[in-house]
């Protein structure tokens, strides 16, 4: 059995309504305070299209690159 290693993942889930209780629950679970690990926060956002998702990922990458 190998040693545990840290992994970075992105999951994209689409709901037609940002007020959908399923989306609200997922966002709540992902942004819970205990999801902070070594200064890293799981990020959740409601985006209306694939293009918006790509733009958001680009902004997050630019923000990370600026550090």
Cβ neighbours of residue 17 closer than 8 Å, sequence gap 6 or more: 23
Is the pTM higher than 0.85? no
Tokens of 40: 């890293």
Specify the length of the chain in residues: 67
pLDDT tens-digit profile of 10-50?
777 778 888 888 888 777 777 666 666 666 666 667 777 88
pLDDT at 35: 60
């Amino acid at each position: 059995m190998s040693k545990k290693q840290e992994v970075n993942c992105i999951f994209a889930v689409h709901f037609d309504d940002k007020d959908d209780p399923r989306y609200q629950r997922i966002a709540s679970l992902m942004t819970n305070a205990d999801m902070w690990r070594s200064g890293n926060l799981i990020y959740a956002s409601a985006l209306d299209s694939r293009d918006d998702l790509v733009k958001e990922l680009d902004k997050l990458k630019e923000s990370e690159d600026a550090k």
